[in-house]
Amino acid sequence: MSGVRVLVIGSGAREHALLLVLAGDPQVTALAAAPGNAGTAALAEHPGLADPSSGEQVVALARSWRADLVVVGPEAPLVAGVGDALRDAGILCFGPTAAGARIEGSKAFAKDVMAAADVPTARSEAVDNPGDLDAALSRFDAPWVVKDDGLAAGKGVLVTSDVEAARRHAAAVLENGHPVLLESFLDGPEASLFCVVDGTSVVPLLPAQDFKRLGDDDAGPNTGGMGAYAPLPWAPAGLVDEVVDTIVTPVVTELAARGTPFSGLLYAGLALTSSGPQVIEFNCRFGDPETQVVLALLRSSPSSLFLAAATGRLAEEPAPAWSDGAAVTVVVAAEGYPGAVRTGDVIQGADGPGVLHAGTRRRDDGAVVSSGGRVLSVVGTGTDLDAARADAYQRLAAVHLPGGHHRTDIARDAAAGLVAMPVRA
């Protein structure tokens, strides 16, 4: 297809990163973001969308704006069936159906699919009755991993060596009406592998690493992600192929066999353990903030790749091409994040190089102000991780958000050669 009009649904730094690579794609002739943010307005039209999770509204917008392709960024619209509504309307969509999105929407469903496909993951037990909690906890050892079996964007998980804290968190999740998932603890470095999938074929992108904890040296609570880098200089050459062969392809094959093929972006969140890569979670969409670094290194056409997935022609599509260097992103969060945040602070330097917007909006007087928890994602690139890290932090130094905070150690250990694969058992 030439002259492609692309509509991106969402308003975070992930969507800003998607719009940035699409804007540099010669095949893309028009871009729209809905709802978008203060940063995406420079790259894309903002036609307006009241509810990104309304299939009816997204279809109406895609029709009126004459979109050739709709790329759905966040999971909530996909879980709500926006991908189905677009397909039913005959509009090409990069993003799975609601049935495919269950791989993220229900952790219990994901475990069932993995068991059927013989994919390595943590042992787990679902608990839906507070009376069963103590007995279930006693069947696991420290550290305990307690998850909310509902959508919590990585924030519903507690990993703790304090069994009392594990019990309190599980009880709170149950009180909220959600089932609890207890899991065995997976050791080893974490990695995120994004795969473009068309129902049957799997095309991996560069592996990345995310920093989930709030503070330096992984102190503090889990967040949506405070920074990321790609690629992984410490990963062996065969890692991506091993993950595709032992994890992603079996899951894609199992979903197709169940009559609910997955088409879109399948994100494998992995622990690289001494017994090989194991799944921590699947997501049905691009990860945030890993997308910001993976796409910063993409050199081939993103619209060709997404269209090939949406039309079931991935096997014919050339493999994506990548820069030789590295990319690092550092998230700037608002005061209070990941709890209740302060918004409305004026941001200085928000239009600087490498600054992707997440929770921002432009005030009537032109000032860019904070409007969410993760406010900005500053991206740096370089010939290696050290150079990319220096670039990201130099760019960050020109940005100021009152009360804002960020981690100072993103990619530090990897750049210093301190991250290693565990020895295989």
Which amino acid is residue 170, in one-letter code?
A
Nearest to 353 by CA among 331, 325, 381, 374: 381
| Residue 377 · residue 329 · CB < 8 Å | yes
Smallest separation, CB 423 to ligand GLY (Å): 27
Which amino acid is residue 222, in one-letter code?
N
Q: Cα(283)–Cα(102) distance, rounded to whole angstroms?
A: 9
Q: Cα(50)–Cα(299) distance, rounded to whole angstroms?
A: 34
Which span (4-12, 286-294, 309-317, 379-387) binds ligand GLY, by CB under 6 A?
286-294
Q: What residues between 108 and 167 interact with ligand GLY by CB under 6 A?
A: 154
Which span (62-70, 107-115, 280-288, 296-304) binds ligand GLY, by CB under 6 A?
280-288
Which span (175-183, 234-242, 285-293, 318-326) binds ligand GLY, by CB under 6 A?
285-293
365 Cβ contact partners less than 8 Å away, ≥ 6 residues apart: none
Q: Cα(401)–Cα(21) distance, rounded to whole angstroms?
A: 26
Of 222 and 249, the one with the shorter C-beta distance to ligand AMP is 222
Backbone angles phi, psi at 219, to 5 degrees: -85, 155
Binding map of ligand GLY across residues 191-230, x = CB under 6 A, - = no contact: -------------------x--------------x-----
Of ligand GLY, ligand AMP, none, which one does residue 183 interact with (CB within 5 to 8 Å by kind)? Answer: ligand AMP
Which span (123-131, 284-292, 372-380, 398-406) binds ligand GLY, by CB under 6 A?
284-292
Q: Cα(417)–Cα(401) distance, rounded to whole angstroms?
A: 32
Of ligand GLY, ligand AMP, none, which one does residue 373 interact with (CB within 5 to 8 Å by kind)? Answer: none
141 Cβ contact partners less than 8 Å away, ≥ 6 residues apart: 184, 185
Examine residue 186 and tell whether it contacts ligand AMP (CB under 6 A). Answer: yes
Q: Cα(198)–Cα(215) distance, rounded to whole angstroms?
A: 37
Task: Please select the residue that binds ligand AMP; options are 157, 170, 295, 414, rule is CB under 6 A.
Answer: 157
Examine residue 125 and tell whether it contacts ligand AMP (CB under 6 A). Answer: no
Examine residue 95 and tell whether it contacts ligand GLY (CB under 6 A). Answer: no
Of ligand GLY, ligand AMP, none, which one does residue 288 interact with (CB within 5 to 8 Å by kind)? Answer: ligand GLY
Examine residue 182 and tell whether it contacts ligand AMP (CB under 6 A). Answer: no
Exposure class string for 117-149: b at 16+ Cβ within 10 A, else e: bebbbbebbebeeeeebeeebeebeeebbbbbb
Examine residue 273 and tell whether it contacts ligand AMP (CB under 6 A). Answer: no
Size of the site for ligand AMP (CB under 6 A): 15
Q: Cα(109)–Cα(288) distance, rounded to whole angstroms?
A: 23
Q: Cα(216)–Cα(219) distance, rounded to whole angstroms?
A: 6
Examine residue 11 and tell whether it contacts ligand GLY (CB under 6 A). Answer: no
Examine residue 292 and tell whether it contacts ligand GLY (CB under 6 A). Answer: no
Smallest separation, CB 272 to ligand GLY (Å): 16
**Contacts of range 125-129, beta carbons closer than 8 Å, 24 or more positions apart:** 125/181, 125/182, 126/179, 126/180, 126/181, 126/182, 127/170, 127/174, 127/179, 127/180, 127/181, 127/182, 128/174, 128/179, 128/180, 129/174
Beta sheet of 144-148, edge-to-edge order: 124-127, 180-183, 144-148, 157-160
Examine residue 197 and tell whether it contacts ligand AMP (CB under 6 A). Answer: no
| Residue 44 · residue 32 · CB < 8 Å | yes
Smallest separation, CB 208 to ligand AMP (Å): 13
Task: Please select the residue that binds ligand AMP; options are 11, 40, 97, 222, rule is CB under 6 A.
Answer: 222
Which span (31-39, 92-100, 180-188, 252-260) binds ligand AMP, by CB under 6 A?
180-188
| Residues near ligand GLY (CB under 6 A) | 154, 210, 225, 283, 287-288, 290
| Residues near ligand AMP (CB under 6 A) | 122, 145, 147, 154, 157, 159, 183, 185-186, 190, 212, 222, 269, 280-281
